[in-house]
Amino acid sequence: MNLGRPLWAEISRSTLAANFREIQRRAAPAEVCAVIKCNAYGHGAVECAKTLEAAGANWFAVTSPEEGIELRHAGISQRILLLSGFWREQAEVVVKHSLTPSVWESEHLDWLPRYIPEGERFPIHIEIDTGMSRQGVPAAHARSFIERASAIPQLEIEGIYQHYATGEDCGEGPRGQEETFAATLAELPELNIAPKYLHLCNSGATIARTSQTSFPSAQQLVRCGIALYGYWLDFENPAGAPNWNTQPALSWKTRVISLRDVPAGTRVGYSGAYTTTRATRIASLAVGYGDGLNRLLSSRGHVLLRGSRVPIIGNVSMDVTLIDVTDVPGTSLGDEVVLIGIQGEQAIDAWDHARLCGTIPYEILCAVGARVPRIHIE
């Protein structure tokens, strides 16, 4: 018996697994590192990791040690890459739980060795900043940093990587970063360093670059996140961009919890932001911005009810959202309402929300709140 609010997200295991296999097929011989940071972009990190593990994933990537430890406690034994490194107080647990840190600050090289058992070598991946100016060793200082890391006997430089600033550019945009990264790699033989893993691409870059002969052949990993869940950003210079056979894995649903009839001229919701222009039947839904439904959808967004697109009216409030069901005869208490997903012949996806809110589907998915249960279905 479900004793919670009538609000939930369904994640299709079969869709997630199929998406992974499609990306792996396209990216081969590179291996897919499944990015499941931020609770698997709102899909539920632990359950997604188990599904992807069964589908063949050998690498996962998360933001921080605490996200990695959650996976370890759930029994995930595959490699886990920490994309945003670690802080001083986290160095011990990074080693204890066999997490693979990204490193780029000299302090990273100071903090780790003190916790590595004598005689052991601990793998690290060095990020090179080739043009994003967010994190990573600036390319101009990469050689000296790599030399210093290689001189520390407890550390093994297992990987070196970069991150595209414009991964969705199918044209010449990323070339400068690729050239900078290649120049760094060209110095490695002089240092007697041959990392096992080189990686350049996120989801957008994996899709964009595999559409051309320019897919970086040197890399052994691609870091795919949003594409696993059926989305990516719009491509720049999209000529020749492939039509990948991936589908959204998440559906978000609620139910009608109240119905009322009001006359024309009735102000609706907080601040009376919407006024009815006709006799209107209003349904209340058990969802609000406290659950992650963006307030910018107020009087702009739609939901699916009984196979029809139905408008949101008034301001989305913290816990309740109102819709106009006047044109949906037979609407009843308990009717299932789709916020994101498919119902009948109609569909609403995270892009539909994102475009109305002036954002990207990443934010829409990640914003689905902690009080929305995730139900993983076949």
Report how far Cα 61 is from the mean position of its chain's Cα atoms.
11
Partnered with residue 129 across adjacent β-strands are 138
Peptide bond preceding 29: is omega within 30 degrees of 0, i.e. cis? yes
Partnered with residue 251 across adjacent β-strands are 10
Give the pLDDT confidence score for residue 242 in this predicted structure: 61
* Nearest of 342, 6, 32 to residue 197 by alpha carbon: 32
pTM of the model: 0.95
Name the maximum alpha-carbon separation found in the chain.
Answer: 80
* Nearest of 60, 47, 28 to residue 225 by alpha carbon: 60
Q: HSE on the CB side for 19, CA within 13 Å?
A: 27
Q: Express each pLDDT in 8-51 by its tens digit.
A: 999 999 999 999 999 999 888 899 999 999 999 999 999 999 99
For the chain, list residues with pLDDT below 70: 1-2, 211-218, 238-243
Instruction: Give the H or E element holding residue 350.
Output: helix 350-357
* Nearest of 284, 240, 288 to residue 261 by alpha carbon: 284
Structure tokens at 243: 């039509």
Give the pLDDT confidence score for residue 213 in this predicted structure: 47
Which domains does the chain show, CATH number per domain?
13-229 (3.20.20.10), 250-377 (2.40.37.10)
Buried b (16+ CB within 10 A) or exposed e, 293-325: bbeebbbebbbbbbebbbbbbbbbbebbbbbbb
Q: Express each pLDDT in 259-289 by its tens digit.
A: 999 999 999 999 999 999 999 999 999 999 9
Q: Which residues are catalytic?
A: 37, 270
3-state secondary structure of 211: coil
